[in-house]
Structure 1
Amino acid sequence: MSPPDSTEVISAGVAAGLDAVGVARAERFGSVRAELVRHRDQGLHGGMAFTYRNPDRSTDPGRVVDGARSLVVGALGYRRPTPVRPDRAVGRVAAYARRDHYGALRQALGQVAAMLVAAGYEAVVVADDNALVDREAARRAGLGWYGKNSNILLPGRGSWFVLGTVVTTAELVPSDPVPDQCGPCRRCLESCPTGAIIAPGVVDARRCLAWLVQAGGDFPLEYREALGNRIYGCDDCQEVCPPNRLLEDAGEDASVGTASGSEEDMAWGSVAGGVSSGSEEEMAWVDLVELLGLDDDRLMDRYGRWYIPRREPRYVRRNALVALGNSGRGDDPEVVATVVRYLADADPMLVRHAVWAARRLGVDAAVPA
């Protein structure tokens, strides 16, 4: 059985809409496994399961496909210009979470997998789950190198990409690796609002805002002000990264393949200014007062594709209350009324965050004695 040529497989991925494609051998990620175990033992995972849950599995492509020989790794750009912030209390959504980029990624990778299956090989798509450390697969496939914030940077194109892999029994010629190009730059370490990047390539999830908005329990008191207006995710370490800034300064986005679509296809929500009302897939800003007025079903219908602890809407409300407290709009009657309503909520966790928000907004008088 003769497998497709690697060049043909890569071309098929690009034709399917991927912005970059590479090939690696399906070998165990031994050094990454050791790193995951070490960081987990040090508590740096902060309770994050994901690839930490079972390092033996997430670093062994053979656990995905028995007899795996190759990895075909794809990158899909997701960066778009952020609309001007509306003049009201809004929460910012990180660029990767504004729409279901992974759905498009899986669809494109699925076309590559179908090509390999048609040639008589087994091929399985994995992306954004516990099955495989996609960043390491991408590095091995020559798509890029690890930045100091632990993201993969594509040469000349930055890090605004989601990554996924086709694990296959076909034996393909691997792509050449990309050398580290960060040099002495430390901008991502220095710009992290909570100091979560504790060493080059090492992120302490216990401080990382992108993880804390997804973690259970109360939002850590010491990081609430640092959360600012973020309601989901954090882009700071990517926004200061020189390759990313060069693209933005040139007026480009990171997505250059056919999957990016046209400007007409880039919906920002059905409310002016990019605030999603739920009828459009993509959102950059979320109206906090509106969100905090939704019932459970409507809230989950609108934001349920985010990682929400135990699928409980209370955690989205928790994040929104912190962002509302940081809005600086203590003179806005709707904002104050929303906070006051949550001061009497049946959920003690939300009451605690409403108390913090009220005091942060300077409306201490509303807090019960």
Structure 2
Amino acid sequence: MDIAKLKDEIIAYSKEIGIEKVGFTSADPFVELKQRLYTQQKLNYQSGFEESDIEKRTNPKLLLSGAESIISIALAYPSKLKDAPRSIREERRGLFCRASWGTDYHHILRDRLNKLEEFILEKIPDAQIKSMVDTGELSDRAVAERAGIGWSGKNCAVITPEFGSYVYLGEMITTIPFPSDQPIEDMCGTCTKCLEACPTGALVQGGQINATKCIGFLTQTKGFIEDEYRVKIGNRVYGCDTCQMVCPHNKGKNFDFHVEMDPDPEVVKPKLKSLLFISNKEFKEKFGPLAGSWRGKKPIQRNAIIGLAHYKDETAINDLAKVLSEDTRPVLRGTAAWAIGKIGAPEGKSILERAKEKEKDEQVLHEIDKGLKLLETSIERS
């Protein structure tokens, strides 16, 4: 079959099924990426969520025997929240990052990739194909960059000329030798806005990130968050968009191409206090469809407590006291103790002192002491 013609047919079909961009590249090893990943590993900059085998991450032929090329796809997602509810006193709200709005993007992209697979196999039945989205071995960004979808920005996101960096990425490795597309020019230039705006300094330099300091990563962890990062998280309950929001290439970019991606304002900007005692069933029903629910409710509840501390929400003191005295999870009890101290309400001292008498967990006791010190500082300042 005429492979070049098939490539054109795939591009045309991809538009029909709701794929904004499609690019093609070879299945050759990602040599430069391999070296970068070993450097990241040596520096302890990896999050731990990615594939640990760097050889698999950089050599497509290890994932599919006879691999010849990779097809990269990109779907644009919305960046503006219509009818966003206000965060007001007694009803302070948190925020899910844009990549977690609407239906979990893994499902959306897999649907498009499955349709593309079926289309290709109708044309070439004996072709071998392996598709993946985010959780696969390959680096979606590296594939997209080499396939001409966009360039790799200083914020470590793929930036497209048409949609900025507000795109979901996926790819399929195939045994069909498609002609490769050319990478596009890096348009970041001398701009360093993302590096300067990163709340925790996780962007070490253009194109290099210390994932362990990234708020997007920290909000997904399940343990205690270090104090220096708690104050940076603000009201984020999942993810962080700062480096995207300040990017000039994202200015004015907002696309509502896919109804599945439409966010429910009450879901993606939830009331923080409502998260503290939500049941597993309620959490699954309300937040289960979001990509941001994948780690369960515990990290989001912990982040909600940090958010209440960020707002110094004195109306949350009784709820936080209940978490401290009744929750079975040390991370939530401890974070609540710190939050009570951070808020600085007058009744905080007695709440923490009573909790200290009953608490057995050493980490929680440490957090109670931190809360008491914060209260002392607050009293001295007033």
TM-score (norm 1): 0.87
Cα deviation 1:67-97 (Å, max 9, x = unaligned): 1111111101112312253422211110001
Which residue pairs with 1:314 in the alignment?
A: 298
Tell me the CA shift for residue 22 of structure 1: 0.7
- Which 5+ residue runs of structure 2 have no aligned equivalent? 357-382
Which residue pairs with 1:56 in the alignment?
A: 55
- Which aligned pairs between 1:98-177 and structure 2 lie closer than 5 A? 98-99=101-102, 100-118=104-122, 119-120=124-125, 121-177=127-183
SS at match of 1:367: helix
**Following the alignment from structure 1 to structure 2, what is the Cα–Cα distance between the partners of residues 15 and 107?**
13
1:337 equivalent to 2:340? Answer no
Letter in 2 for 1:169: T
2:93 to 86, 90, 104: 90
Which residue pairs with 1:233 in the alignment?
A: 239
Cα deviation 1:114-141 (Å, max 9, x = unaligned): 1221222122221111321110100111
1:367 equivalent to 2:361? Answer no
Which residue pairs with 1:31 in the alignment?
A: 32
- Preserved CA contact (<8 Å) 1:79 1:95: yes
Which residue pairs with 1:260 in the alignment?
A: 258
Tell me the CA shift for residue 301 of structure 1: 4.3
**CA separation of 1:254/1:187 partners in 2, compared to 1, >3 Å: closer, same or farther?**
farther
Letter in 1 for 2:50: F
- Preserved CA contact (<8 Å) 1:23 1:73: yes
Count of aligned pairs: 341
**Following the alignment from structure 2 to structure 1, what is the Cα–Cα distance between the partners of residues 74 and 162?**
14
TM-score (norm 2): 0.84
Cα deviation 1:275-302 (Å, max 9, x = unaligned): 12xxxxxxx2012111112123332443
- Which 5+ residue runs of structure 1 have no aligned equivalent? 277-283
Larger Rg: 2
- Which aligned pairs between 1:211-360 and structure 2 lie closer than 5 A? 211-245=217-251, 248=252, 252-254=253-255, 259-261=257-259, 267-269=262-264, 274-276=265-267, 284-304=268-288, 306=291, 311=295, 313-330=297-314, 332=315, 335-344=316-325, 345-360=327-342
Cα deviation 1:149-204 (Å, max 9, x = unaligned): 11000014210001000211111111121011100000000000111101110111
Q: Give the helix-richer structure, 1 or 2.
A: 2
SS at match of 2:211: coil
**CA separation of 1:295/1:107 partners in 2, compared to 1, >3 Å: closer, same or farther?**
same
**Following the alignment from structure 1 to structure 2, what is the Cα–Cα distance between the partners of residues 31 and 215?**
29
- Shifted more, 341-350 versus 291-300: the winner is 291-300
- Preserved CA contact (<8 Å) 1:36 1:55: yes
**Following the alignment from structure 1 to structure 2, what is the Cα–Cα distance between the partners of residues 94 and 115?**
33
- Which aligned pairs between 1:2-41 and structure 2 lie closer than 5 A? 2-3=2-3, 4-41=5-42
Tell me the CA shift for residue 316 of structure 1: 2.4
**CA separation of 1:215/1:183 partners in 2, compared to 1, >3 Å: closer, same or farther?**
same
SS at match of 2:25: strand
**Following the alignment from structure 2 to structure 1, what is the Cα–Cα distance between the partners of residues 285 and 33?**
36
Tell me the CA shift for residue 221 of structure 1: 1.3
Over aligned residues, Cα RMSD in angstroms?
A: 2.0
**Following the alignment from structure 2 to structure 1, what is the Cα–Cα distance between the partners of residues 98 and 212?**
21
- Preserved CA contact (<8 Å) 2:151 2:187: yes
Which residue pairs with 1:74 in the alignment?
A: 73
2:213 to 201, 207, 210: 207
**Following the alignment from structure 1 to structure 2, what is the Cα–Cα distance between the partners of residues 74 and 42?**
31
Tell me the CA shift for residue 5 of structure 1: 2.6
**CA separation of 1:84/1:184 partners in 2, compared to 1, >3 Å: closer, same or farther?**
farther
**Following the alignment from structure 1 to structure 2, what is the Cα–Cα distance between the partners of residues 19 and 358?**
47
**Following the alignment from structure 2 to structure 1, what is the Cα–Cα distance between the partners of residues 183 and 273?**
48
